[in-house]
Structure 1
Amino acid sequence: MHVRRGVTDPPKLSFENHPDVCCRFVVDATGQSAKVARKFGATVNMQDLMVSFAAYLDCQDTRLNENKLTLLEAVEHGWWYCASLPNNLQVVSLTTDIAVAKKLRLKQPENWYSLLKNSIHINNRIEGTVFPNRLNSWKTPSSLLSPPAGNGWLAVGDAAACYDPISSQGIYKALANGLQAAKSIVQWLDGDPEGLTEYRNKVVKDFVNYLEQRDYFYGQEQRWQEAEFWAKRRAYLAGLKYG
């Protein structure tokens, strides 16, 4: 399967249990799965894989509603995040290593909430809220698609590269990535393949810069040297391959 410019009968992109799709150019915006790019032979270079568990807390009648600042707190098993949402809600999440999450059984809300009550700053913010009866969870990898673009296709957003949420670059990355992708696609459709080369280089360069910033952030925490979460992060950072 491939995509070629200037063909009368465009090639087909096939997916199991779905109709074939014909087009001149393909954009993969399928998120972490990168389903389309994998069809073109791309692979995901995984640098780190964590998981976040979050609850949405009603803070209408608590002082939580008075504080609109985003708050992060490092703890032994990872780091907490707390931010305001519309309708008097606050999202509170714990990001940790997948192995740690399994050992602590964090899918069970009572275990998650117990750790939350042991925090200092986050616990102070959520005092008076109701115990959550369910949690939301999602994987939070650091990964780079290799390659992020090829002849007649490219990947955008998390399909191209996933960043640790501690970087706070999600929205910026998505917008900048989309603008660069659009420019590259126009060039390719006009017969200039160099746009895709520039796009690939930009995605890789941005990912390298992200890894360096992530290294800095995690390197600031010097407590809990023997804790599994922080020990693994140091091991990952020491063995990163920026190519």
Structure 2
Amino acid sequence: MIVFGSGPAGSALGRKLAERHRVLLLERELPTNPPRSSEGWRIGESLPGAAAVLLRRQGLFDRFLADGHVERGASVSVWESPVPVWFDALRDPNGPGWHLDRVRFDAMLRNAARDVGVVFSAVSGRVQVLREGAQWYVRDDRAGRQYRARVVVDATGRSAALCRSLGLPRHAQDRLVCVHALLPAKEHDQDRCTRTSADVDGWWYSVRVPSGERVLAYHLDAGDPALRGLRSAQALLLHARRLPLLAPVLPESVSHISTQVRPAGSAVLNIADGVPGPGFYAVGDSVLAFDPLSSQGLFHALASAERAATAIAREFEGDLSAGQHYFLEMRHVQARYYKHLAATYARPVRYCDRPFWAQRRDQVDWMGTG
């Protein structure tokens, strides 16, 4: 089996299958001297308590706990009205979940996959993927290598590189982007709440991560003229400090800190018209990239990897319809997700006439009923 992508979904899937099958995991070759911005941290640092079940099934829960991730505190949001609403996990049977050190979390999953025999191989450019009969052939011309497998899996994240190379349609809901920075925490800042706030032309969140620093993230349209000015961390900070929910926990100023901008809108693999038949799967963001508002992206990576592993095992046992059943399940996940996302974006009624909110209400409503 060949898995494209070495993120959480690909590594978790590889580990799940490697005890009974040979697994090759292809990953992009990193530059010799990567820019400093790619070394220190990764946004996407939340995992719900329900993920404990998936980590236990991987045999990784104790290893996960030993890595020093921080239990999530309460959440407070200014969303439906200007009045803050608090929520804690006391009534959640799965517990509060965790704020993650993403670099450490991703490394744990990669190392765990290696421990059970997953082979990692770097590719430096585009590869050719062809299907002949019941076999897939993957050619890396630059390295002069060719691989063959009965099953290929796209775990390349939002890029969905394998899906695109096979001509599979993918629908991006909108052009939502996240501009974010990792800020030093204020002196004596012990706040562990996740703070979320709707704004006139987007929405914010801020939380402290295990390093003790504070993430500040703003989600807005890629075409918003304000985006250019917010590429400065100081400008991002000043813009956030307008909001009563965020100002008390944010430093007054920062220097020598850069922001990062990444795509953040929902994107789905269009599987209504079918996929290339047996032997093809997509997991994690490749099959459904979540809006960060859902806080479900990492959980989905682990859950879809587990469901795909079950389907692939069945396919190896002769059930050629296993992939169809897997993608049907993913369609149900997509439908439930859009229903909840539509309801959430419709709630800040005080901003309902602003383009950011009106566009998402209309688009998500349409996609959720399509």
Q: What's the TM-score once normalised by structure 2's chain length?
A: 0.59
- Cα offset, 1:90, TM superposition: 1.0
- Cα offset, 1:136, TM superposition: 1.5
Q: CA RMSD in A?
A: 2.2
- Cα offset, 1:236, TM superposition: 1.4
Is the counterpart of residue 82 in structure 1 residue 211 in structure 2?
Answer: no
Matched with 1:231 is 358
Contact (CA 8 Å) 2:220, 2:356: kept in 1 or not? Answer: yes
Choose which of 24, 29, 33 in structure 1 pairs with 2:155: 29
SS in 2 for 1:144: strand
CA distance in 2, matches of 1:146, 1:228: 26
Segment of structure 1 superposing worse, 88-97 or 110-119: 110-119
Which structure shows the higher helix fraction?
1
- Over 3 Å counting, the alpha-carbon distance change for 1:15 and 1:123 in structure 2 is farther
Structure 2 stretches lacking a partner, 5+ long: 1-129
Is the counterpart of residue 170 in structure 1 residue 297 in structure 2?
Answer: yes
- Over 3 Å counting, the alpha-carbon distance change for 1:212 and 1:132 in structure 2 is farther
CA distance in 2, matches of 1:3, 1:114: 57
- Cα offset, 1:184, TM superposition: 0.7
Q: Deviations over 1:75-107 (max 9, x none)?
A: 112111111112221111001111125565332
Q: Deviations over 1:186-209 (max 9, x none)?
A: 111111112111111111110110
- Cα offset, 1:142, TM superposition: 0.9
Matched with 2:278 is 151
Structure 1 stretches lacking a partner, 5+ long: none
How many residue pairs match? The answer is 237
Structure 1 residue identity aligned to 2:269: L
Contact (CA 8 Å) 2:180, 2:218: kept in 1 or not? Answer: yes
- Cα offset, 1:132, TM superposition: 6.0
Matched with 1:116 is 240
CA distance in 2, matches of 1:159, 1:16: 24
Segment of structure 1 superposing worse, 30-39 or 207-216: 30-39
SS in 2 for 1:91: strand
Structure 2 residue identity aligned to 1:176: A
Contact (CA 8 Å) 1:104, 1:111: kept in 2 or not? Answer: no
- Larger RCO, structures 1/2 (Cα 8 Å, 6+ apart): 1
Contact (CA 8 Å) 2:346, 2:357: kept in 1 or not? Answer: no
- Cα offset, 1:131, TM superposition: 4.7
Between the aligned residues of both structures, percent identity stands at: 25
